[in-house]
Amino acid sequence: MDLLLDDERLGVRVGATTAADGDVHPTRVDAAILARRQVGLAGARWAMAEHVHGTEIWSVDSVRSSVTLVPADIVVLERARSRSGSPSPSAVAVWAADCATVFFVTGNSLVGVHAGWRGLAAGVIQRAAAIAVGAGPIESVVVGPLIGPCCYEFSDCDVAAVAAGVGAATAAIQGVTGAGALALDTGAAVCSALAEVGITPDAAAQGCTGCTDDGRRWFSHRARVDVGRQALVGWFV
């Protein structure tokens, strides 16, 4: 795992898994294997949602949530204990192959976002930022690994839809693939959405899920139709 944030003052860490850490898909991986991988990487089970490429929100509020999938692309984990008195899950993750993953960190909460292009077009980043602000001042924003324009051929109408959703000019979020075709620059789209709400990311994974290290560092659905998934994981320490 690449540790992208280690804030001792807040007692929070955020890290991005790699292909070397193994597949962390929440339903395709055997439950016992997945549990061992999660605990081995973050010291605890992770609460994970079933991403649906939208703007749905899941507030993780009980210990059982660490093994229960809920349809959502925004997950909110608070440091506080659950109503039953049992400890809430201490780790939460958003998983992907090529889509953007983002964590907003406040003093007592973690807000994770899975941002596929449809989610970006629907304003998922801005909605998650508003939730984080409501939980307290945002202390840090971390962006996980995502596909680069070099490997992400895209249609002009869909680029325009994303641009409208992130408050950017189309030219600001488009690029060119290695083969010279029109591409979506997902990283630029994420930064545009953050800029629209006055936020700049503090840390970000560097590279492209499609081609960094000849495609060996991360899983990629778009570039290789990989079945494996990596995750951006946040946890309290």
User: Is 39 inside a domain boundary?
Assistant: yes
User: Is 117 inside a domain boundary?
Assistant: yes
User: Is 190 inside a domain boundary?
Assistant: no
Domain that holds residue 88: 2-146+200-236
pLDDT at position 83 is 46
In whole angstroms, what is the distance from residue 103 CA to residue 10 CA?
14
pLDDT tens string 135-145? 889 999 999 99
User: Is 165 inside a domain boundary?
Assistant: no
Lookup result for tokens 């992770």: 46
User: Is 191 inside a domain boundary?
Assistant: no
Contact between 208 and 186 (Cβ < 8 Å): no
User: Is 27 inside a domain boundary?
Assistant: yes
User: Is 47 inside a domain boundary?
Assistant: yes
pLDDT tens string 174-201? 999 999 999 999 999 999 999 999 999 9
CATH number at residue 16: 3.60.140.10
What count of other Cβ atoms lies within 10 Å of the Cβ of residue 214? 6
Burial 79-88 (b: 16+ CB within 10 A, else e): eeebeeeeeb
User: Is 167 inside a domain boundary?
Assistant: no
pLDDT band at 87 (very low <50, low <70, confident <90, very high): low
Domain count, the chain: 1
Of residues 220 and 84, more confidence is placed in 220
- What pTM does this model have? 0.93
